[in-house]
Structure 1
Amino acid sequence: MLPPSWDHQPTPVTAPTPDPLTPTRDITHAHFQAGDTVVVLKGVAGGELWGDSMRIVAPSWHTPTDEDGWRLRDPTGGAQSYVTAHPRYLVHLSRRCPDCLIYLRAMEDALLTRFAGRDELIDCGWYTTTALGQLVHTADTRGGR
C-alpha cells in the first residue's frame, strides 16, 4: 500500500459520490489532541486517496453538529486558513493509530476501485465550509447552514 497523497493540487473534478463511512464513524473528540497533524479525506488523485492536510490547534464547538470539534490550521493558508471540524472527519497523519488506519483502509476499498483508471484529482463533494468557518460534511448539514 502506497502512502496517500495529501498535497494540494490543481482544481479537482467534482464527482458527487456517496460517502459510505464518515457519517457513521464513531470517533470521539478525545481521539485527537492539539498539535496532531490530520487529513480530511476528500477524494482520489491518481489512484490514491486525496485530502487536505491540517494541524489541530485547539478544541472548538462544531455548531453544525452541536458537538465538540477541533479548530484546524491549514498550513498553506489562503482564504480559509482556519476551520472547525468534527472529529469523525479527521484521520491522523502524525501517528499510526489503529482506528484511523482501519478507516483509511475502508475508504481505500470504497473509493479506489470506483475511480480506478482515472488520473485527475477527484473531489467526491462531501464537504463545504460555512460562513463561520465550519467544515461541514453533507450528511451533517441542517437547514441549508
Structure 2
Amino acid sequence: MSQPPPTSAFAPTPDPLTPDRDITHAHFQPGDTVVVLKGISGGELWGDAMRVVAPSWHTPTDEDGWRLRDSTGGTQSYVTGHPRYLVHLSRRCPDCLIYLRAMEDALLLRYADRNELIDCGWYTITALNQLLHIADIQGSR
C-alpha cells in the first residue's frame, strides 16, 4: 500500500464507506502506523502512510482526532485527522481489515482496467492543517 509516484489522474469517485464508518478515538494509539486511503493504483488501494503522534481536536467535525506525522515530510508533514479516516498498517486489527476489504470490494472492480494512479478526490487539507473528508465539508456529519 505504498504511495505510487505522483503521476496521478484525478477521477472524483464517491466514497461509499468512510463517511459512515464507526471507529472511536480509542481505536488508535500514539505510535501506530496508519494509512489514509486516497485511491487506486495498479489494481490496489493506495494512500498516505502516517504515524499517530498525539490526540488533537478535529475542528471540522468537532470530535476527538489524532495528530498525524507524514514521515516523507512535504508542506504538511503534520496534520490532524478524524479516526474514521485511518486504517492500521502497524497491526492487523479486525475492524480495519473489514473496512479495507469493503473498500476494495467497492472500488477495485470499477478501475480494474486502469493501471495509472487514480486519486479519488476524497480529502483536502484545511487552513488549520486538518485533513478533511469531502463528506464532512458538505456537512453530512
Taking structure 2 as the reference length, what is the TM-score of the superposition? 0.96
| Mapping of residues 1-145 of structure 1, within 5 Å | 5-141=1-137
CA distance in 1 between counterparts of 2:4 and 2:127 reads: 22
CA distance in 2 between counterparts of 1:142 and 1:65 reads: 11
CA deviation after TM superposition for structure 1 residue 97, in Å: 0.2
CA distance in 1 between counterparts of 2:111 and 2:5 reads: 17
Tell me how many residue pairs correspond in the alignment.
139
- CA RMSD across the alignment: 1.1
CA deviation after TM superposition for structure 1 residue 7, in Å: 2.4
CA contact (8 A) 1:11 1:121 kept: yes
| Cα deviation digits, residues 36-75 of structure 1 (max 9, x gap) | 0000000000000010000000000000000000000000
Distance change >3 Å, CA 46–CA 34, structure 1 → 2: same
| Cα deviation digits, residues 3-32 of structure 1 (max 9, x gap) | xx2225223111100100000000000000
Runs (4+) of structure 1 exceeding 3 A deviation are none
Question: Which residue identity is paired with 1:70?
Answer: W
Query: Where in structure 2 are there 5+ consecutive unaligned residues?
Result: none
CA contact (8 A) 1:64 1:142 kept: no
Same amino acid, percent of matched pairs: 81
